Chain A
Amino acid sequence: MKQNSEQTSISNLQETTAGATGVTTDMRVIVPLQGVVQGGGGLVLGSIIPCALFYFFQLYLKGKSRSDDDPVTPTPPPLPEISPPLERVHSIRSIWSPRGTNGQAQVSSRANSVIKQPDSPHYVGLKRASEDPYDESSNSDGIIQLGLDENKLSLDLVQDWLVEHTNCLIFGQDLRMNGITTYHPFDGLSELKMAVAGFMSQAMEGRVLFDPSQIFLTSGATPAVEMLAFCLADSGNAFLVPSPYFPDLDRDIKWRTGVEIIHVPCRSSDNFSLNTTALHRAYNQAKKRGLKVQGVIISNPSNPVGNLLNRETIYKLLDFATEKNIHIISNEILACSTGNESQQEFVSMAEIMNSEEYDRNRLHIVYGLSKDLSLPGFRVGVVYSFNQNVMDASKKLLRFSSVSSLAQRLLISMVNDSRFIRKFLKINSERVERMRNLFVSGLKNLGIECMESSRGFYCWVDMSGFIRPYSEKGEFELWEKLLNVGKINATPGSCCHCIEPGWFRFCFTNLKEKEIPLVMERIRRVL
């Protein structure tokens, strides 16, 4: 019925818009609404009401096509619509929407999902802290950054080395002859691969030898992880990832590949260690949802928790992967940060790969120089794999994220200077350990407990006693208070997909020792 009157009034519109003077009697007869209106107002209303109905019809069209914009599900793109209605809707949309140019050529749904994602507290906090950074002299009221897991503690060592070595390094030689400026293999110069293989072995205290020919270099661990995701899974497939996990993984795995992440929740009762029952459960849940699981992604040492995977758990994980015939990606980017007093040994996936107890074609390691050598700006990540197909694909895929030859040359010299590396690793380890101890005891004095087994540049801290209510909302409120009142940026556990509310990651390697009391004081203020 309503449809009918709309249609009638629209066809009438074509008659009535032709001339505003319009024939009132005709309108009253044909358009029921007009019949209601008598007298002088009738003419005005007679033109307004059909217009209003037309307006609502456009609203209807607009609402219909807006729902097509939903970016989440990976369904195939709809067939192209007929041009005229699309154009009209676009022009109206551009009048109504807050961003005027929204009606212009659209971006992809991949891009849309990136844009529409509300920024999680992790990124909001990072942004706020970088806009209002604490500085002892110039901005003592600024935000102290405890959300970025960077290591500033031993930068002076790296700087001293660079100052000593840079000048005679590059420019005394013929740039072109040394292949610095020309095209080079996209997966890295072989000299750097050899140097990095040596470094990785040194970092793991010589327990494992890394083979340079299985190394592929890329501009950071971020593209390394994404590249493996592209290699090992099709769009619509999934990886199992023990949670809590570091927030960037969502971006690295999901954004452009169309691959899903299935969480495998770990609990504080287990010290957040990986539970194989949970693995099996998550796998079966994925199967029920029709998602094909292609692998498991672990980080060892874990980020954000900081614990190490023990041998037993690793073997259980390997058995699981063998049973399901899937891959394992091990992110070992913090391998050197294991601290001097490790009661627990660090077992690298490389050890397993070398022992050949398990099929190493399913094992892949991601590594990077940003954490262990304090050089994130240099952008060097490593993919380590024995799988021939992955190796062949990597050589070609890494063209999209190649390392600058300038950075490679510099690093070759630095990493080959084993005296420097030994000294650096030792001193850095001591400083990280010292800072961690100070930080943990500071928190203890406030009645806050950290995970005992913490390694890496951060503490995984239990603030559940201080949140009200005991929920994600309560955790979010505490995060906000810490940021706005305490002027401290920390990463709340929900960003890491921790199922238990109240856990926070505090990174302490951005601090100077004397700033710790200040940090503690600010936390106390908030609690």
Chain B
Amino acid sequence: MAIEIVQPSVAGLSKIAVSETHGENSPYFAGWKAYDENPYHEMHNPSGVIQMGLAENQVSFDLVEKYLESNQEAASWGKKVSGFKENALFQDYHGLLSFRKAMASFMEQVRGGKARFDPERVVLTAGATAANELLTFVLADPGDALLVPTPYYPGFDRDLRWRTGVEIVPIHCESSNNFQVTPQALESAYDHATSMNMKVRGVLITNPSNPLGATIQRKVLEEILDFVTRKNIHLVSDEIYSGSVFHSNEFVSIAEVLESRNYKDSERCHIVYSLSKDLGLPGFRVGTVYSYNDQVVTTARRMSSFTLISSQTQLLLASMLSDNEFTEKYIKINRERLRKRYETIVAGLKKAGIECLKGNAGLFCWMNLSPYLSENTKSGELEIWKTIMEEVRLNISPGSSCRCSEAGWFRVCFANMSEETLEVALSRLHEFMDRRRRDRNLLSVL
């Protein structure tokens, strides 16, 4: 039944329209609002809130910009008369073949050539958000469950559940083993779902993980693959940070594992990718679903009518991504710069007395403030988060919005700002921790 809204004279809206599943009232998003109201600016507002809750990659953007400037014909229509006609009119949900080929080849390059991708299996969507939602529509019915390891990207609660009606059942991971997924945790999540009469349709992992900032080890991938095979369910691997691994040899994609098994049982596997993080182009809205299952490819492709990429974006990116010289250089330099940033922030945090999870990928680090909580609970965590937002004026993401089962962990993004801003943020944090220690010492003396 649609929920009636206040004015009785107007027809009601759907449950989806009025539900809170979009989650925009959680602390994850509350911090963003604080930032929007008082954003930091080097010159104009040096005491403003520094945004460290947005996982955006701006460290290598100059490379993309330089490429676009020196390759203007890539985006222009002038030379190719027939090219224009095809492009303006192109509304086929298959997408431009040249673009699909370019995406497949870029994905291969990101994985160091250790896995092959077939352009015919590339389904295009307007961003990874849409790709995850689309896969959920294809793989699960309302009321079914997807198992997702915690902590996970807060947006999943919305992207996987809102319109699809599908539930997320968490696979609890703990700091004792660096938050890695264990077979026991998988089984326990599965059992929990079935005890609640939910049909489990699949496992969704993010590799490299958001918010952990770490790749999943090969051994764990194999265990997860064996688990889904045993239970006869799907495996979705969200690999949107695959190009942001600091050392190329530390990332193992599910595609590699499948290839090493000769693609046996691969029809249950699907990969999500996007250019928003690796290439720093979130505004372009480019995402893809790559599936080893023909039925899923066909259905996802048809459903992608609801979320197509504009043809001239495809055209522009097709030529950029097929330029192997550029992509190789970009991937290499991007990795180095991210690694450097990571080392800077970890060192800076250490100086302030804060430890992080050992990470090797992504645009953020997973920081441990649990020793500093007044109480080891979610409210203790939110208390310190609020203090950091108000006193230190940093917006960071609390682990509770990532459904972390342990209190006190925070995700801190470092790639969406300049090096100078990062230094400012670190020094503020340092000061804050010093002050806190002094206050504590004073209290203990009194």
Contacts and interface: CB of A to CB of B under 8 A. Distances in A.
Interface of A: 76-77, 79-80, 87, 90, 101, 104-105, 107-111, 114-115, 130, 150, 152, 155, 158-159, 162-163, 166-167, 170-171, 174-176, 179-184, 219-220, 222-223, 226, 230-235, 237, 251-252, 255-258, 292, 294-295, 325-327, 359, 361-362, 370, 374-380, 387, 389-390, 393, 396-397, 399-407, 410
Contacts of A403: 126, 285, 310
B141 A251 contact: no
Interface stretch (B77-85, B240-248, B318-326, B334-342): B77-85
A356 to B, nearest CB: 13
B163 interface: yes
A150 B159 CA distance: 33
Contacts of A166: 75-78
A389 B18 contact: yes
Contact of B77 (A110, A159, A251, A396): A159
A235 B18 CA distance: 14
30 contacts: A80-B197, A104-B267, A108-B140, A108-B144, A111-B295, A158-B88, A159-B85, A163-B77, A166-B75, A167-B78, A181-B284, A183-B282, A219-B285, A219-B307, A219-B309, A220-B91, A230-B17, A231-B13, A235-B142, A258-B142, A326-B11, A374-B88, A379-B311, A396-B22, A400-B127, A400-B133, A400-B306, A404-B126, A406-B284, A410-B312
A379 B308 contact: yes
B197 A79 contact: yes
Most buried by B among A152, A406, A407: A406
Nearest to B164: A256
Contacts, number: 266
Given A155-B85, A327-B11, A80 B307 contact: no
A234 B2 contact: yes
Contact of B16 (A111, A159, A223, A231): A231
Interface of B: 1-2, 5, 7, 9-18, 22, 24, 54, 56, 58, 61, 64-65, 68-69, 72, 75-78, 81, 84-85, 87-92, 126-127, 129-130, 133, 137-144, 159, 162-165, 194, 197, 199, 201-202, 228, 232-234, 265, 267-268, 280-286, 293-296, 298-299, 302-303, 305-313, 316
Contact of A115 (B87, B163, B295, B316): B295
B92 to A, nearest CB: 8
Given A222-B305, A387-B10, A404-B126, 6 more contacts: A76-B143, A105-B202, A166-B77, A233-B14, A401-B307, A402-B126
Nearest to B58: A176
Contact of A361 (B10, B24, B84, B199): B10
B310 A77 contact: no
Nearest to A510: B89
Contacts of B140: 108
Contacts of A167: 72, 76, 78
Given A155-B85, A374-B88, A175 B68 contact: yes
Which are the 6 A-B pairs with shortest beta-carbon distances? A377-B311, A405-B283, A407-B310, A393-B17, A376-B91, A377-B90
A152 B285 CA distance: 27
Contacts of A219: 126, 285, 307-310
A258 B199 CA distance: 19
B61 A181 contact: yes
Contact of B299 (A105, A114, A181): A114
B310 A370 contact: no
A377 B87 contact: yes
Contact of A362 (B10, B126, B133, B306): B10
Given A235-B165, A374-B88, A110 B138 contact: yes
A237 B267 CA distance: 34
A129 to B, nearest CB: 12
B141 A108 contact: yes
Contacts of B58: 176
Contact of B13 (A171, A292, A390): A390
Contacts of A387: 10, 13
Contact of B91 (A159, A183, A370, A390): A370
A251 B129 CA distance: 21
A399 to B, nearest CB: 6
Contacts of A171: 68-69, 72, 75
A162 B13 CA distance: 41
Given A166-B78, A389-B5, A379 B310 contact: yes
A445 B90 CA distance: 34
A152 B11 CA distance: 40
B310 A378 contact: yes
Most buried by B among A362, A375, A378, A396: A378
Contact of B65 (A176, A294, A375, A378): A176
A114 B303 contact: yes
B70 to A, nearest CB: 10
Contacts of B84: 155, 159, 162
Nearest to B91: A376
Contacts of A230: 14, 16-17, 163
Contact of A110 (B24, B65, B137, B310): B137
Given A231-B13, A389-B17, A400-B133, A176 B88 contact: no
Given A223-B307, A399-B129, A400-B307, A362 B11 contact: yes
B11 A292 contact: no
Given A104-B268, A327-B11, A410-B312, A404 B305 contact: no
B311 A378 contact: yes
A101 B264 CA distance: 11
A333 to B, nearest CB: 13
A509 to B, nearest CB: 11
Contacts of B302: 114, 251
Contacts of B9: 325, 359
B138 A107 contact: yes
Most buried by B among A107, A257, A404: A404
A292 B280 contact: no
Nearest to B276: A183
B199 to A, nearest CB: 5
A326 B164 CA distance: 24
A178 to B, nearest CB: 10
Most buried by B among A150, A252, A405: A405
Contact of B306 (A222, A237, A295, A405): A222
Contact of B137 (A101, A108, A359, A401): A108
Contacts of A232: 2, 11, 13-14, 17
A223 B137 contact: no
Contact of A176 (B15, B61, B286, B311): B61
Contacts of A130: 92
Most buried by B among A150, A162, A374, A401: A401
Contacts of B144: 77, 108
A404 B285 contact: yes
Contacts of B87: 377
B121 to A, nearest CB: 14
A171 B1 CA distance: 51
Nearest to B131: A400
Nearest to B10: A361
Contacts of A374: 88-89
Contact of B283 (A87, A184, A292, A295): A184
Given A176-B65, A181-B283, A393-B13, A150 B89 contact: yes
A104 B308 contact: no
Given A115-B295, A400-B126, A402-B285, A108 B10 contact: no
Most buried by B among A255, A257, A379, A407: A379
Contacts of A257: 163
A77 B167 CA distance: 13
A402 B293 CA distance: 27
Given A104-B268, A402-B127, A359 B10 contact: yes
A12 to B, nearest CB: 31
Contacts of A400: 126-127, 129-130, 133, 159, 163, 306-307
